[in-house]
Each structure stands twice: as structure tokens, then as C-alpha cells.
Amino acid sequence: MEAIAEASIQHSRSLNFTAQQIANTAWSFSTISVLHFPLLTAISQASHRMLGTFSAQDLATTAWSYSKLVLMDVPLMMSIAAESLRKIDDFVPQNLTNSAWALAKQQVCDVPLLQSIASASIPPISDLCSQDIGNTAWAFSTLGFFHLPFMSSISAQALRILSAFSFQEISNTAWAFAKIIFEDSPLFNSISAASIARCRECAPQDIANIAWSFAKMALLDHPLLDALSERALARSDAFNSQDMGNTVWAFASLVVRHDPLLHAIASASISKIYCATAQDLGNSAWAYAAL
């Protein structure tokens, strides 16, 4: 890959490097998680020069690639956002989803583009798969951008295909709707039923996200909390400090005292206490004091 990177850097400085080649190169390195700074710097510079020649697919792919590698390049993202807005009518659902996700990962809240993505996503909403639903809802909520018609459409599509969701997609969707306090009883009831039925599949972060989401919405669902507690007890050693803080905060917020779970999380947290953020510590302290 080093040889490919070096050759690509040389091509990026010439007019022979096309927009599609730029996007495909960025995609290739991000897909295999190779963070090659000189190459990505060269790609960014070439993208700025040639952005007007990028197709909708090129724009979305390049934005996704930098975000997948967690490489913050706000000037590039802002330029891509401006060009994407001009070409939004050419975006297919996958381009829309990838662009929204990239904006959120880069923490770029471009309101005109988000509004356009939301509006453009509604007509083809039935074409969105479970990953598209989870990622797009997560992106909008992460950026704190609320678009009622779009979120209502996302909810309707999620209800239609919830059985196809992975557990992570279920928990991401619950978190996204709770983050913006979007009250939707049918959706949360379906998420609860799916979570109870498939709780053995959930990872610690999923447990924490589901519990946090229902607490944030003030939804006291004892069967769901029982199922989450049972799974959490089995996986307590795998929880990170954020999962622990969010889980105990959720139970305390709903005034549900589950002593075995509290003891298990307390024991597991001792070895991870120095990895906890101030928010994690505050959530945990408040929860144990409240209960």
C-alpha cells in the first residue's frame, strides 16, 4: 500500500488524476483502515482544486472516506458540503446517507445541506435499508438537527423493516430519537419488543444506549429493563466506563433499583475508574446516590 500511496501522491499533483480516481483512492485506504497522512493531504489538496468536476458519488465517497478514518478536515468537508448542495438532485439514497454520516463524524453542522438531505431523502425513504436508517438518524441527532417530516419518515420506515435491523442499528435508532426527544410510542414499543426478544445479541454499548434512551424519554418499561439487566450482568466485565455510567444513570433516572446489577457494575468499574471521563464519573456518582 505504501507504493500505491506514493504513486498516487505523484498523480494527484498532475491533471491526470480524475475526480473518480481521487474518490476511489480515498475509499480504498479508508476501507482497509490505512491512515496515510501524506496521501490524504495530497488528496485533500487535489479535491479542493477539482471539486467542481466531482459527481455526487465522488463527493459522498470522499466525505465518507475521511470520516471513516476519523481524519478531521473541516475545510475539505465545508467545500464538499457546498458542492453537494449544488448537486443534491443527483444524489441517490446511499449518497445522502453517507454525506449526513460524514458531516456528523466531522462535526460539521451545515444546515442548508442537512435540510436538503432531509428533503431529498423523504421520497425514496422506502429504499433505505436498516443501516441507512440507523446511520442517518444517528447523524441528524448527533448534530442536533431536527427535521420533523424527515424523522417521521425515518420512524415509519424503521417500523416497516425493524426485523431486519442488527441490534446495533436498533440501539442507534433508539438513541437518535431519544437524543432529540422525539416522542414516538409505536417506534419505542417496537424497539422494546425487539430488544427483549433479541437481548442475547446485544453488546454492552447497545445495553447502555437502549437503557439511556428509554430513561431519556421517561419510558418505564419493566420487562425491557429486566431483560437488559440480565444481559448486563452477564457482560458487566466488558462494559467501558461510559457504558457503566449511562446504564446506572438510566436505572436511577427511572427509579429502578436492581442491586445485583449495581453491585456488578460497581465491581467492574474499579479497574476502569481512571479511564472514566468527568461525565461518566458524575453519572455514576449521581446514580448510586439517588438509588
| DSSP character string of 91-122 | --HHHHHHHHHHHHHTT---HHHHHHHHHHHS
How much of the chain is helix, strand and coil, in % rounded to 5?
80, 0, 20
Alpha carbon distance 266, 236 (integer Å): 9
Tens of pLDDT, residue by residue over 218-245, are 999 999 999 999 999 999 889 999 999 9
| pLDDT value, residue 287 | 87
What mean pLDDT is predicted for residues 69-79?
91
Cell of 148: 420533523
| pLDDT value, residue 269 | 84
- The model's confidence at residue 16, banded by pLDDT at 50, 70 and 90, is confident
| DSSP character string of 159-195 | HHHGGG--HHHHHHHHHHHHHTT---HHHHHHHHHHH
Alpha carbon distance 77, 74 (integer Å): 5
Q: How many CB atoms lie within 10 A of CB 144?
A: 10
| Backbone phi and psi for residue 255, each to the nearest 5 degrees, phi listed first | 55, 50
Tens of pLDDT, residue by residue over 208-219, are 999 999 999 999
| DSSP character string of 49-71 | HHGGG--HHHHHHHHHHHHHTT-
Tens of pLDDT, residue by residue over 85-130, are 999 999 999 999 999 999 999 999 999 999 999 999 999 999 989 9
Alpha carbon distance 126, 201 (integer Å): 26
Alpha carbon distance 34, 57 (integer Å): 21
Find cell 453519572 and name the residue: 283
- DSSP 8-state assignment for residue 238: G
Cell of 86: 449544488
Are the C-beta atoms of residues 268 and 233 closer than 8 Å to each other?
no
* Single-letter residue type at 163: S
Mean pLDDT rounded to a whole number for the chain = 92
Are the C-beta atoms of residues 231 and 199 closer than 8 Å to each other?
yes
Structure pTM?
0.87
